Amino acid sequence: MTTVTMQGIREKVGRGERLTFEDGVFLYGAPLIEVGELANEVRERKNGNVAYWVSNRHLNYSNVCVLTCLFCAFARKPGEEGAYEYSLEEAFRKAEELKGTNATEIHIVGGLHPDLPWEYYTDLLRGIKARMPHLHLKAFTAVEIDFFARTFGKTVEQVLRELVEAGLDSLPGGGAEMFSERVRKKVCKFKITGDEWKSIHRAAHGLGLRSTATMLYGHIETPADCVDHMLQLRELQDETGGFTAFIPLLFHPENSLLSHIRKSSGLLDLRHIAVSRLLLDNFAHIKVYWIMTGTRVAQVALSFGADDMDGTVREEKITHMAGATSPQGLTEDDLMALIREARREPVQRDTVYRSLEAVHA
Ligand code: SF4
């Protein structure tokens, strides 16, 4: 058995050789600056000095959910204080706030609502598309897709096809949490399994949809769980090539059933960004989600492997109900200023990473 060393990993990365599970675990214990420096090298090889951003809006149509995931501060039971669901008209009004802006995308996710009919979801997409055909609709996590299939007696493929017909353009990567069965059993035991999450993304990619992939960290996971999670994603990406980006998501304990866990530090955020950049050699982009890390860590992350700072967001509920202190949204100017201050060149992208300049050329 060969001993893993930082020098050995550096040489492998230099040769473009794929890192192993053992390499990944080693990177979680190696000096952060060295890991970050190497990740930055790969980031610059893949994406130069560019840092992408998107002009988007989040639309969390309802927080009513039949499940209780321990890390979730967003969900409410039907009738519980703070429970809400947007009528279609309200949702359309929120979407229409984007008229006259540079926005290219709406990100739509919600809880697993026991009473909304199937037509609510298809009409939601259809109505937004009819009003603003140019907007890319990134909607419904694999967890919601699975719930729709079970609730409405359809196959996953039928659900996806009908949503595409209504206007769906891609899937967000939420709900992956941590694939480890041990972790899932403890923090979200009634949620779909990691294999089910992957199989829904595989089906989506098979229909030509692109998606993102996420990993929720900062709760009860170990470095080995994180490496295993990323390598499973790497394997699926080898198979389908359908993921646009990987997004490590920081767990916010406030108001959740895991509120006794101490919120992890910015150093851990940077570690996950850097390790993912090194392990996920077949992912073109690593995104730092500034809503969760805060803008300061996000700026530093642009030199630790991340090449994307997500977007303007405009209104965010999920992380803010868990005590996030970042703003609810950023203006395009603020986002670009943050990127420039981090000595990167801001490039506005669409959901599938075409630069808007190229799209309009
Ligand atoms: S994480 Fe999603 S599925 Fe779990 S309780 Fe929250 S809204 Fe429901």
> Is any ligand 1 atom within 6 A of the Cβ of residue 83?
no
Beta-carbon contacts of residue 347 (< 8 Å; ≥ 6 apart):
50, 51, 52, 53, 355, 356, 357
Which residue has its alpha carbon closest to ligand 1 atom 4? 69
Q: Closest by alpha carbon to 194, among 207, 210, 183, 178?
A: 178
| 259 residue type, one letter | S
Instruction: Tell whether 1 is covered by a domain.
Output: no
Query: For a pocket test of ligand 1, which of 68, 71, 72, 318 has the largest count of ligand atoms closer than 8 A to its C-beta?
Result: 72
Structural domain boundaries enclosing 179 = 6-360
With a 6 A CB cut-off, is 111 part of the ligand 1 pocket? yes
Does 69 sit in the ligand 1 pocket, CB within 6 Å?
A: yes
Residue 248, strand partner residues: 215
The whole-number pLDDT of residue 359 equals 59
Locate the ligand 1 atom nearest the alpha carbon of residue 141 and give its number: 2
The strand ranges marked E within the chain are 50-54, 56-59, 105-108, 136-139, 170-171, 210-217, 243-250, 285-286, 308-311, 345-348
Q: How far apart are CA 192 and CA 242, in angstroms?
A: 20
What's residue 322's pLDDT? 72
Cα separations in angstroms, 249 against 84, 163, 173, 197, 289: 24, 26, 10, 16, 7
Q: How many A from CA of 192 to the centre of ligand 1?
A: 11
Q: Is 72 in the pocket of ligand 1 (CB under 6 A)?
A: yes
Question: What are the residues facing 50 on neighbouring strands?
Answer: 345
Q: What is the pLDDT of residue 279?
A: 98
Ligand 1 atom closest to 71 (CA): 1
Q: What's the CATH number where 307 sits?
A: 3.20.20.70
Residue 290 burial class via C-beta count within 10 angstroms: exposed 0-12, middle 13-18, buried 19 and up: buried
Tokens of 256: 């959740």
Nearest CA to ligand 1 atom 7: 111
Structurally, how many domains does the chain consist of? 1
Ligand 1 center to residue 320 CA distance, Å? Answer: 15
Task: Classify the C-alpha dihedral 235-46-272-257 as positive or negative.
Answer: negative
- Centre of ligand 1 to C-alpha 253, Å, is 14
- Could you tell me the distance, in angstroms and rounded to a whole number, from the CA of residue 127 to the centre of ligand 1? 25
For residue 22, tell me if it sits in a domain. yes
Q: Which atom of ligand 1 is nearest to the CA of 68?
A: 5
For 264, residues 6+ apart whose C-beta sits below 8 A from its C-beta are: 217, 218, 250, 251
Q: What is the DSSP string of 76-107?
A: B-TTSTT--B--HHHHHHHHHTTTTS---EEE
Residue 121 confidence (pLDDT): 98
Question: Token digits for 314?
Answer: 């405009």
Is the CB of 65 inside a 6 Å radius of any atom of ligand 1? yes
Helix (H, G, I), strand (E, B), or coil: what is residue 57? strand
Dump pLDDT digits (tens) for 183-201. Answer: 999 999 999 999 999 999 9
Q: Is the CB of 143 under 6 A from ligand 1?
A: yes
327, part of any domain = yes
Class of residue 64 by CB neighbours under 10 A (exposed 0-12, middle 13-18, buried 19+) = buried
For the CA of 110, the nearest atom of ligand 1: 7
Ligand 1 mean position, distance from CA 67 (Å): 6
Could you report the average pLDDT of every consecutive run of 10 residues in the chain (361 residues)?
Answer: 92 97 98 98 98 94 96 93 96 94 95 98 98 97 98 98 98 97 95 98 98 96 98 98 97 86 90 98 97 94 97 79 76 94 97 82 53
Q: Kindly state if the Cβ of 75 falls inside 6 Å of ligand 1.
A: yes
CA atoms within 13 A on the CB side of 225: 18
Quick one: tokens of 228? 């295993």
Q: Is residue 276 part of a domain?
A: yes
Burial class (CB in 10 A: 0-12, 13-18, 19+), 226: buried
